Chains A and B, each alone.
Chain A
Amino acid sequence: MTGILAGAALLILVAEAVLGEKSRKTLPGYIALAAIIASIGLILITQISPAYSLTASHPVFRNDLIGVFFSIVVLIVSALVAAASIEYVKTIGNSAAYNALLLFTAIGMVLLSFAADLLMIIVAWELMSLPTYMLTGFRKRDPDSTEASVKYFILGAFSSGVLLYALSLVYLLAGSTNIATAVTALQKLAPELNPIAILALALLVAGFGLKMSVVPFHMWIPDAYEGAPPTVAALLSSATKKAAFAVAIRVFIVTLPFLQLEWSAIFAILAVATMTLGNVAALTQRMLPRMLAYSSIAQAGYILVGLAVSPYAQSTPMGLVGVLFHSFTHGVMQAAAFIAVAAVSLRLVKSNLDSYSGLGLRMPVTAFTLTIALLGLAGVPPLNGFWSKLVLFSAAVEAGSTVWWGGWLAVIGILNSAFSLGYYAWVIKRMYLDDPEETGRLKEPMGLTGVLVAAALIIIVTGLYPAPIYEFAKNASAALLSASTAAAPR
């Protein structure tokens, strides 16, 4: 399956050399989209067949449901981005390079979802990250884009270094790069090595946290999302961030319980800081991409709630289910919001919030789908964002019976989520209640609105009928937990 993606990426590069001027503009986009959709199909056929078995593990990759879940999420988002880019990239040019980079990122994310070896994690992490640095700076004549790219690259490279150091410390402690083997070794860790374990934990949080947009490692995000082309911002906030969560789950949930550290309380503090800072900062933004960037930080905070309370689950691993579920819903919603920004930016020169005034009349489809996405992000039922937040906060309430801060985490989370409607509704107010500076209907970019309608349909349909995804997430989480306990019996 990664073969398809890699093949398509190479095909695009070859096609660039062979093809004429005209087909060069759009054909790479279609090839990329087709390759991504083919990969989704392939995963669905091979992995959800009855013959699937959890034990079919490879030393470097774990072929499990968590990997399947996250790879589908990142591929759906990549498909949305690729489809939206077909039209958007026409304005930038160099479509072949863009789509090839997009596919390489997709390969990196999929590999990362399945990676079960520390070395593989590093390799996949880099494969995912390097193309995004270039994509962020893709509008090379735009100083904002270049600045964003450089900023993102420096911090990204730094985080890769931190991560590499952290994983080498884990290797030092565990004596193996395979996570499953490492778990067994870590159980018998000598107590005097604990400081090293703590150092490794802190560095891991910092390394992953940068991509997961956890406060205080979030500084690059608003600049990068604002400077990057909106379709790339969609990819960054909806897909690469989710892949980072996938690997974080593997490392933290499976490994950390054996380190005997109070890591969940640390995650709870990070969650509170992340969502509160994200929401407060989002309230003051004047540019929609920046607002969405801070909103994306806040949403990462909600996901962290799930990670923090995951050890206290009772019958169902609700916290973990919430992490998976929200990764999916937030991926689709955030991608839809950024693609709507892309659609607007094709028609309006300015991207500050004032220029969105009256958009409901000027670009009705874009405005409507953006409204659906924003309401979903705010967690208004019956959209899918409501259900995933419900599961996350339910997990926190449930944890309240075990740890004292569980209930408070739920209270803070729900209040944050409720107040976040303040800025989401503000955008909706702009679009529908305010009078535009210039009137006149704008022609909506057909390709982008098509993608937006598709995303809005996903948001609504999985909101009305969330059962399959919930169940998938539940099975995946249960499988991960049972596998991790089976790998290292206490």
Chain B
Amino acid sequence: MLLSLMIFVPIIGAAVAYLLGKVGTKAVKGFTLAVSIITLALSLSVFANILQSGAGANYSFVEGPISWIPAFSGVDYYLGVDGLSAPLVLISALLTVLVVFGSFDLITIRIKEYYALILIFEGAVIGVFSSLNLLLFYVFWELVLIPMFFFIGIWGGPRRKYAAMKFILFTYVGSAVMLLGFLGLYFFTSPSTFNIPDLARMALTGKIPSWLQGLVAIATFAGFGVKLPVVPFHTWLPDAHVEAPAPISVFLAGLMLKMGGYGFLRVNLQILPEISKQYAWVFISFGILTMFYGALVAIVQKDFKRMIALTSINHMGFVLLGGFTGNLYGVSGAIFQMFNHAAAIGLLFMLSGYIHEQAGTRDVTILRGLRFTMPRTATLVILAALAGMGAPAFSSFLSEYMVIVGAISLDPRYAIVVLVPGLTAGYFMWVIRRTVMSQPKEEVHHHDMNRFSALTLSLYLIPLILLLIFPSLLLNVVDPLSRSLIAALGGA
């Protein structure tokens, strides 16, 4: 029941939030906040339960399978969370609360539509992470697109229409091809099913032939690769991120990219183990390419927000790399990285939104002396940059470290990826030096963010600090699952 509640309370709440628009914008905001906090509380209890029982390797809170179309066997309503999905459900609920807070200041038009779409988005994302049926997964996966199209298209920047169309076409075509892969999986295995646990079991016993695994891996690569995004399928991302309003960029980078990473770990590692092992080098190469591309292109950006967008391409490369190393460091590190990246990149995007709001520009070459003009923002920028570059002050350091260790222990030549955090640190340092540590130009008066905003933004840092000190809070949930994934891959 708990998982269904977490999906459908927000979705039904969306209709209520829209109708509350007649009462007033305060009511809409308050109601949305309340719903998102309730969902967060539910997801915390789910996470705590799994942490306590140590049952990360198995599905908990399973609902179903309840037949959705009885005559079409295998299409079931089937939910459950394990060590891979529980952290992602938790971060989805957490980011939604923070996004709602962040939207109070930054979103000023068409309030009721906005908050209704926020809640639909939350329900759909949690649905993606907790579906145990590939078709249900696909339904939620596509449901995520619709709110995002309107977010970018209505509340976005100057080129929002172009960005929204580009975004929806890229992702929709990618996921249609992915669906084709799922259909292949359904028809060429027996008994035919879309249920992930059943398919994983079949994969373990070698009932999914390798030619089928190969075809499905190619098809799903289009879906997951566009979302993650893997270079060369990334071109929608900078446009979408730059045009989206800051809170929505948090959703995009924090949650939507995770859907791609989740797909790779869930489908490729669990259902297509043979291909994932045999052709791991292909995926790893794409991962490394993505990491270097993201880092190198970020260096030359002048727009702070575009730079962060490209940083997140770089960070998601770690997920792809770690996932396919097939060892404990790599796989756990990849899941850990998804969690950390969501929090860190969320804060960075929110800050870019505030800077744009107050200073009227995000151009790094123009912004000067933020530490004098906007001290609260400046402090947070430094902290967020530390988190973004993977400095040992926050847990993102741990996850990047784990992925790199995992890669090196697979093959020492992969040590080349050590360069990536160096590059990332380099351009973050450059940004800090240019914008924060410099002298302001004269006669510039920016208003700093208010205390409440500073406080809500600091909330992003709590999980990052907490997990640096107590990484076991997350890893105890993740590790059992990673072990079972690795066992399925035939590794140690």
**Which residues does A use to contact B, with CB under 8 Å?**
316, 375, 380-382, 386-387, 390-391, 393-394, 397-398, 400-401, 407, 410-411, 414-415, 417-419, 421-422, 425-426, 428-429, 432-434, 466-467, 470-471, 474
Collect the chain B residues with CB atoms within 8 Å of residue A415's CB.
173, 176-177
Whether B72 is near chain A, meaning CB under 8 Å from some CB there, is yes
Q: Give the complex CA separation of A386 and B183 in angstroms.
A: 14
Q: Give the complex CA separation of A400 and B180 in angstroms.
A: 12
Pairwise interchain contact A470-B153, C-beta atoms closer than 8 A:
no
Q: Which residues in chain B, 299-340, are within 8 Å of chain A measured between CB atoms? A: none
Pairwise interchain contact A414-B169, C-beta atoms closer than 8 A:
no
Collect the chain B residues with CB atoms within 8 Å of residue A411's CB.
180
Pairwise interchain contact A426-B165, C-beta atoms closer than 8 A:
yes
Q: How many pairs, one residue from A and one from B, have CB atoms within 8 Å of each other in the complex? A: 89
Pairwise interchain contact B169-A432, C-beta atoms closer than 8 A:
no
Q: Give the complex CA separation of A398 and B187 in angstroms.
A: 6
Collect the chain B residues with CB atoms within 8 Å of residue A421's CB.
168-169, 172
Q: Give the complex CA separation of A94 and B169 in angstroms.
A: 45
> 0/1 per residue, B164-205, Cβ < 8 Å to A?
110011001100110110011011100000000000000000
Would you give the shortest CB distance from B434 to chain A, in whole angstroms? Answer: 35
Pairwise interchain contact B71-A471, C-beta atoms closer than 8 A:
yes
Q: Give the complex CA separation of A421 and B184 in angstroms.
A: 23
Q: Give the complex CA separation of A272 and B187 in angstroms.
A: 22
Contact residue among B135, B164, B168, B184 (Cβ-Cβ distance under 8 Å from A397): B184
Pairwise interchain contact B188-A401, C-beta atoms closer than 8 A:
yes
Pairwise interchain contact A397-B71, C-beta atoms closer than 8 A:
no
Pairwise interchain contact A414-B69, C-beta atoms closer than 8 A:
no
Collect the chain B residues with CB atoms within 8 Å of residue A316's CB.
71-72
7 CB contacts below 8 A, A to B, read A401-B187, A418-B173, A418-B176, A433-B161, A467-B71, A471-B69, A474-B71
Collect the chain B residues with CB atoms within 8 Å of residue A471's CB.
69-71
Would you give the shortest CB distance from B27 to chain A, in whole angstroms? Answer: 20
Chain B: which residue is nearest A471 at the CB level?
B71
Pairwise interchain contact A429-B139, C-beta atoms closer than 8 A:
no
Would you give the shortest CB distance from A429 to chain B, in whole angstroms? Answer: 6
Q: Give the complex CA separation of A386 and B138 in angstroms.
A: 11
Q: Give the complex CA separation of A357 and B372 in angstroms.
A: 45
Collect the chain B residues with CB atoms within 8 Å of residue A390's CB.
135, 179, 183
Collect the chain B residues with CB atoms within 8 Å of residue A397's CB.
180, 183-184, 186-187
Pairwise interchain contact A394-B183, C-beta atoms closer than 8 A:
yes
Q: Give the complex CA separation of A462 and B251 in angstroms.
A: 30
Whether B146 is near chain A, meaning CB under 8 Å from some CB there, is yes
Whether B150 is near chain A, meaning CB under 8 Å from some CB there, is yes
Q: Given A410-B180, A417-B176, A429-B161 in contact, is the A470-B72 Cβ separation under 8 Å?
A: yes
Whether B430 is near chain A, meaning CB under 8 Å from some CB there, is no
Whether B142 is near chain A, meaning CB under 8 Å from some CB there, is yes
Q: Give the complex CA separation of A429 and B139 in angstroms.
A: 22
Q: Given A410-B183, A411-B180, A418-B176 in contact, is the A433-B154 Cβ separation under 8 Å?
A: yes
Q: Give the complex CA separation of A401 and B176 in angstroms.
A: 21
Collect the chain A residues with CB atoms within 8 Å of residue B172's CB.
380, 418, 421
Collect the chain B residues with CB atoms within 8 Å of residue A391's CB.
72
Contact residue among B70, B164, B176 (Cβ-Cβ distance under 8 Å from A467): B70
Would you give the shortest CB distance from B21 to chain A, in whole angstroms? Answer: 12
Whether B47 is near chain A, meaning CB under 8 Å from some CB there, is no
Q: Given A381-B143, A394-B187, A401-B188 in contact, is the A414-B179 Cβ separation under 8 Å?
A: yes
How would you classify the secondary structure of chain B's contact residues: helix, strand, loop or mixed?
helix
Q: Give the complex CA separation of A400 and B146 in angstroms.
A: 32
Q: Give the complex CA separation of A386 and B179 in angstroms.
A: 11
Among B168, B177, B180, B188, the one with the most A-chain Cβ atoms within 10 Å of its Cβ is B180
Among A381, A386, A410, the one with the most B-chain Cβ atoms within 10 Å of its Cβ is A381
Would you give the shortest CB distance from A474 to chain B, in whole angstroms? Answer: 5
Q: Given A375-B146, A382-B143 in contact, is the A432-B161 Cβ separation under 8 Å?
A: no
**Which residues does B use to contact A, with CB under 8 Å?**
67-72, 135, 138-139, 142-143, 145-146, 149-150, 153-154, 160-161, 164-165, 168-169, 172-173, 176-177, 179-180, 183-184, 186-188
Collect the chain A residues with CB atoms within 8 Å of residue B161's CB.
429, 433-434
Collect the chain B residues with CB atoms within 8 Å of residue A417's CB.
176
Pairwise interchain contact A394-B186, C-beta atoms closer than 8 A:
yes
Can you add 17 more A-B contacts, CB < 8 Å, to A394-B187, A470-B71? Answer: A375-B146, A386-B139, A390-B179, A390-B183, A391-B72, A397-B180, A398-B187, A414-B177, A414-B179, A415-B173, A415-B176, A433-B154, A433-B161, A433-B164, A466-B69, A467-B68, A467-B70
Pairwise interchain contact B153-A433, C-beta atoms closer than 8 A:
yes
Pairwise interchain contact A432-B69, C-beta atoms closer than 8 A:
no
Collect the chain B residues with CB atoms within 8 Å of residue A419's CB.
169, 173
Would you give the shortest CB distance from B207 to chain A, in whole angstroms? Answer: 16
Chain A: which residue is nearest B149 at the CB level?
A425
Closest 10 CB pairs of A and B: A418-B176, A381-B139, A433-B153, A418-B173, A397-B183, A467-B69, A471-B71, A398-B187, A414-B176, A474-B71
Q: Give the complex CA separation of A417 and B183 in angstroms.
A: 15
Collect the chain A residues with CB atoms within 8 Å of residue B72's CB.
316, 391, 470
Q: Give the complex CA separation of A471 and B150 in angstroms.
A: 35
Collect the chain B residues with CB atoms within 8 Å of residue A426's CB.
165
Pairwise interchain contact A393-B183, C-beta atoms closer than 8 A:
yes
Collect the chain A residues with CB atoms within 8 Å of residue B176's CB.
414-415, 417-418
Collect the chain A residues with CB atoms within 8 Å of residue B177's CB.
414-415, 418
Collect the chain A residues with CB atoms within 8 Å of residue B145's CB.
380
Would you give the shortest CB distance from B410 to chain A, in whole angstroms? Answer: 34
Collect the chain B residues with CB atoms within 8 Å of residue A466's CB.
69
Q: Give the complex CA separation of A466 and B172 in angstroms.
A: 22
Chain B: which residue is nearest A426 at the CB level?
B165
Q: Give the complex CA separation of A422 and B184 in angstroms.
A: 25
Would you give the shortest CB distance from B365 to chain A, in whole angstroms? Answer: 31
Pairwise interchain contact B69-A470, C-beta atoms closer than 8 A:
yes
Collect the chain A residues with CB atoms within 8 Å of residue B169's CB.
419, 421-422, 425
Chain B: which residue is nearest A421 at the CB level?
B172
Q: Give the complex CA separation of A400 and B173 in angstroms.
A: 21
Q: Give the complex CA separation of A428 and B152 in angstroms.
A: 13
Q: Give the complex CA separation of A348 and B183 in angstroms.
A: 44
Q: Given A394-B186, A418-B176, A432-B153 in contact, is the A381-B142 Cβ separation under 8 Å?
A: yes
Among A316, A390, A422, A466, the one with the most B-chain Cβ atoms within 10 Å of its Cβ is A390
Would you give the shortest CB distance from B199 to chain A, in whole angstroms? Answer: 16
Q: Give the complex CA separation of A426 and B168 in angstroms.
A: 11
Contact residue among A382, A386, A429 (Cβ-Cβ distance under 8 Å from B153): A429
Collect the chain A residues with CB atoms within 8 Å of residue B184's CB.
397, 407
Would you give the shortest CB distance from B154 to chain A, in whole angstroms? Answer: 6
Q: Give the complex CA separation of A285 and B84 in angstroms.
A: 46
Collect the chain A residues with CB atoms within 8 Å of residue B143's CB.
381-382
Collect the chain A residues with CB atoms within 8 Å of residue B67's CB.
467
Would you give the shortest CB distance from B35 to chain A, in whole angstroms? Answer: 21
Q: Give the complex CA separation of A480 and B142 in angstroms.
A: 35
Pairwise interchain contact B154-A432, C-beta atoms closer than 8 A:
yes
Collect the chain A residues with CB atoms within 8 Å of residue B186's CB.
394, 397
Q: Give the complex CA separation of A199 and B281 in angstroms.
A: 56
